[in-house]
């Protein structure tokens, strides 16, 4: 069976950019007979907003994007994450780290990734015999990092269904990454792999801001002995504002909910999203997500980032 997931993070309401990614994910699933699991990624606790899960579910429904299973909340999966983290510690491919993010950033020796993010220089690797020892000797609650294999074993190549062939030297470009935070909760990279593997997800469709998460996730599949479950990946260009930055509050209120409150119909939003998905509509009037099933083609999706302009906003408002 082929399976995908819609995985909103309830850190805020869905905006036009997220909606487009979810729409493409849904269209691919419905065209190809993939089962759709709705998974709420609610483990990033400080950023989670109350009620944003229900809002996301409603927003998706409003657009006609349905699922076959779920919602499954990541906060209900803590035991599975803990088991995997324990396992990785036990087999010696993960280690406790007592450096705060700020300290890592300040370390003069830390190299920088292409996007300016700091590559963790491995300061705590091999420093402590156990998590307990790290805790006692530092007086801090440690995070847990995955020890990226050095050399060829840390090089990950894969073919993205949209972005094409990819190759990352994870040790050099990204470094040892956090799999459990110091508060004991699982970090994104680990949780996604444990869930996708357990839910037998075969197809991951998401924004290309997560393209460099993929090699880290592939390394975790391998480390967990789950290499046979590595899914196929489709990373889509994000929607940005006219300043080239990813769609956010600074570009005005582009939340679906906002437009909906202004009386904008789902059909109108879908007309805009259709254009952003390279779909040619027979008519601009009141399409439903189902109407796109006949004409959507991944190949026709624009290759470059979509720019949200004032004209798009005016179109939605019917001005
Ligand atoms: N929850 C993530 C997001 O909303 C998606 C994670 C994923 O697709 O792997 O950006």
Query: pTM of this prediction?
Result: 0.95
Q: Do 83 and 124 sit in the same domain of this protein?
A: yes
Ligand 1 centroid from CA 315, angstroms: 28
Q: What is the DSSP string of 18-85?
A: HHHHHHHHHHHHHHHT-EEEEEE----GGG--TTHHHHHHHHHHHHT---SEEEEEGGGGHHHHHHHH
pLDDT band at 111 (very low <50, low <70, confident <90, very high): low
Q: Calculate how far, in angstroms, residue 9's C-alpha sits from the geometric centre of ligand 1.
A: 6
Mean pLDDT of the region 24-47: 94
Do 184 and 307 share a domain, yes or no? no
For the CA of 41, the closest atom of ligand 1 is 1
18 alpha carbon – ligand 1 mean position (Å): 10
| Residue 284 maps to a domain | yes
pLDDT of residue 113: 62
Report the mean per-residue pLDDT for the chain: 93
Range of the domain at 102: 78-236
- Reading the block at residue 152, the tokens are 């060829």
Q: 72 in a domain, yes or no?
A: no
Q: Which of 49, 136, 249, 297 is catalytic?
A: 249
136 and 232 housed in the same domain: yes
Q: Span 19-37, mean pLDDT?
A: 98
Question: Looking at residue 284, what is its pLDDT?
Answer: 59
Residue 268 lies in a domain: yes
What does the block give as tokens for 104?
């890592």
When divided into structural domains, the chain yields a total of: 2
105 and 170 inside one domain: yes
Give the Å distance between the CA of 298 and the centre of ligand 1.
20
Q: Are residues 230 and 249 in the same domain?
A: no
- Compute how many other C-beta atoms are within 10 angstroms of the C-beta atom of residue 101: 11
- Ligand 1 neighbour 41 (Cβ under 6 A): yes
Q: How many CA atoms does the CB half-sphere of 244 hold within 13 Å?
A: 0
CATH code for position 193:
3.40.50.620
Note whether 83 and 108 are same-domain residues. yes
pLDDT over threshold 70, residue 17? yes
**Does the annotation count 49 as an active-site position?**
no
Indicate which atom in ligand 1 lies nearest the CA of residue 206. Answer: 8
279 and 308 co-located in one domain: yes
Which tops the pLDDT comparison, 282 or 192? 192
295 shares a domain with 212: no
* pLDDT over 90 (residue 285): no
pLDDT in tens, 206-255: 999 999 999 999 999 999 999 999 999 999 999 999 999 988 888 889 99
CB of 203 closer than 8 Å to CB of 28: yes
User: Pocket of ligand 1, candidates 4, 6, 9, 44: which has the most ligand atoms within 8 Å of its Cβ, to mutate?
Assistant: 9
Cα 237 from Cα 303, distance rounded (Å): 7
């Amino acid at each position: 069976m082929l399976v995908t997931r819609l995985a909103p993070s309830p850190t805020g309401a869905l905006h036009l950019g997220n909606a487009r990614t979810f729409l493409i994910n849904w269209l691919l699933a419905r065209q190809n007979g993939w089962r759709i699991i709705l998974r709420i990624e609610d483990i990033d606790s400080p950023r989670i907003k109350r009620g944003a899960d229900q809002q996301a579910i409603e927003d998706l429904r409003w657009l006609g994007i349905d699922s076959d299973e779920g919602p499954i909340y990541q906060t209900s999966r803590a035991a599975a994450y803990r088991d995997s983290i324990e396992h990785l510690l036990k087999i010696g491919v993960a280690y406790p780290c007592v450096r705060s993010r700020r300290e890592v950033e300040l370390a003069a020796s830390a190299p920088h990734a292409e996007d300016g993010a700091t590559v963790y220089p491995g300061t705590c690797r091999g420093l402590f015999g156990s998590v307990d020892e790290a805790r006692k000797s530092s007086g801090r609650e440690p995070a847990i990092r995955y020890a990226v294999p050095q050399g060829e074993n840390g090089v990950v190549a894969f073919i993205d269904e949209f972005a094409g062939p990819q190759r990352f030297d994870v040790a050099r470009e990204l470094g040892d990454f956090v799999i459990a935070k110091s508060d004991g909760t699982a970090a994104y990279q680990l949780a996604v792999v444990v869930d996708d593997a357990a839910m037998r997800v075969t197809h991951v469709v998401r924004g290309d801001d997560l393209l460099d998460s993929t090699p880290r996730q592939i390394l975790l599949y391998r480390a967990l002995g789950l290499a046979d479950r590595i899914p196929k990946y489709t990373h889509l260009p994000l929607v940005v504002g006219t300043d080239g930055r990813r769609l956010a509050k600074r570009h005005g209120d582009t939340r679906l909910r906002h437009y909906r409150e202004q009386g904008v119909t789902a059909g109108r939003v879908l007309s805009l999203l259709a254009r952003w998905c390279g779909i040619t509509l027979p008519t601009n009037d009141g399409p439903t997500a189902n109407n796109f099933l006949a004409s959507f083609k991944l190949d026709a999706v624009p290759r470059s980032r979509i720019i949200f302009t004032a004209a798009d906003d005016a179109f939605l408002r019917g001005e």
